[in-house]
Structure 1
Amino acid sequence: MRALTSEAEALWLDFLNNSDNRGHAERIILGDSLQRHYEACSQSSREVVRWVSQYVDRNNVKSILEVGSSIGMNCVALAEEYPGAKVTGIEPEHEAVNVAEALSKEVATCRFVRGFGESLPFEDGEFDLILCSTVIEHVRDVEKVISEMTRVLSKNGVIYIEAPNYIWPYEPHLQIWTIPKLGKKWMSLCALVQGKRKQAPFLDHLQLVTPHQIKKLLLNNELAIRNVFYEKVERLLLGNSVAIKAYPGIAKALRMLNKLGVGKVVISVIFLIGLYPSLMFVAKKGQ
Structure 2
Amino acid sequence: MSLQKSLTIFIEEIPQQHLAEAIAEAADITPQQGLQMLYTYINETRVALRLTESVLKKNKQMLEVGAGLCLFSLFLKQEGYEITALEPGAGGFDAFTIAKQVILDYYQSIPLPVINHTAQELNPDIDGRFDLIFSNNVVEHIPNFKQALSALNHCLSEGGAMIHGCPNYFIPYEPHLQLPVLKIWPGLSERLFRRQIEKRRAVWESLNFISYFDVKSFADENGLEVH
Q: 2: CA distance between counterparts of 1:45 and 1:148?
A: 25
Greater C-alpha radius of gyration: 1
2:160 match: secondary structure: strand
Partner Cα distance (1:15, 1:220) in 2: 43
Does the 8 Å CA contact 1:91/1:116 hold for their aligned counterparts?
A: yes
Name the structure with the higher helix share: 2
Partners of 1:129 and 1:157 within 8 A in 2: yes
1:90 to 2:87 alignment: yes
1:111 deviates by: 2.2
Residue 43 to residue 179, structure 1, CA distance change in 2 (3 Å): closer
- Which residue number corresponds to residue 211 of structure 1? 212
**Counterpart residue identity of residue 119, structure 1:** E
Equivalent pair of 1:64/1:129 in contact (CA under 8 Å): yes
CA contact (8 A) 1:8 1:99 kept: no
Post-superposition offset of 1:49: 2.1
- Return the offset for 1:196: 3.6
> Residue 160 of structure 1: CA displacement?
0.8
Shift of 1:5: 7.6
Matching of residues 1-287 of structure 1 within 5 Å: 1-2=12-13, 3-4=15-16, 6=18, 9-11=21-23, 34=35, 38=38, 41-42=41-42, 44-56=44-56, 58=57, 60-61=59-60, 63-81=61-79, 83-93=80-90, 94=92, 95-96=96-97, 97-108=100-111, 110-123=112-125, 126-176=129-179, 178-192=180-194, 195-200=196-201, 202-226=203-227
Give yes or no for contact 1:91–1:115 (8 Å, CA) kept in 2: yes
SS in 2 for 1:164: coil
Q: Deviations over 1:53-73 (max 9, x none)?
A: 3135x1541x22111111112
RMSD of Structure 2 on Structure 1 (CA): 3.1
The answer to whether the Cα contact below 8 Å between 1:191 and 1:200 also exists between their aligned partners in 2 is no
Q: Which runs of 5+ in 1 are unaligned?
A: 18-27, 227-287
Gaps of 5+ in 2: 1-11
Q: Percent identity?
A: 21
Q: Which amino acid letter does the alignment assign opposite residue 91 of structure 1?
A: P
For these two proteins, the number of residue pairs brought into alignment is 206
Q: TM-score by structure 2 length?
A: 0.74
Normalised by the length of structure 1, the TM-score is 0.60
Partner SS state of residue 106, structure 1: coil
C-alpha distance in 2, partners of 1:77/1:223? 30
1:207-237, Cα deviation, whole Å (9 max, x unpaired): 01001111221232222221xxxxxxxxxxx
- The structure-2 alpha-carbon separation of the partners of 1:12 and 1:74, relative to structure 1 and needing over 3 Å to count, comes to farther
Please state how far the C-alpha of 1:43 moved relative to its aligned partner. Answer: 5.5
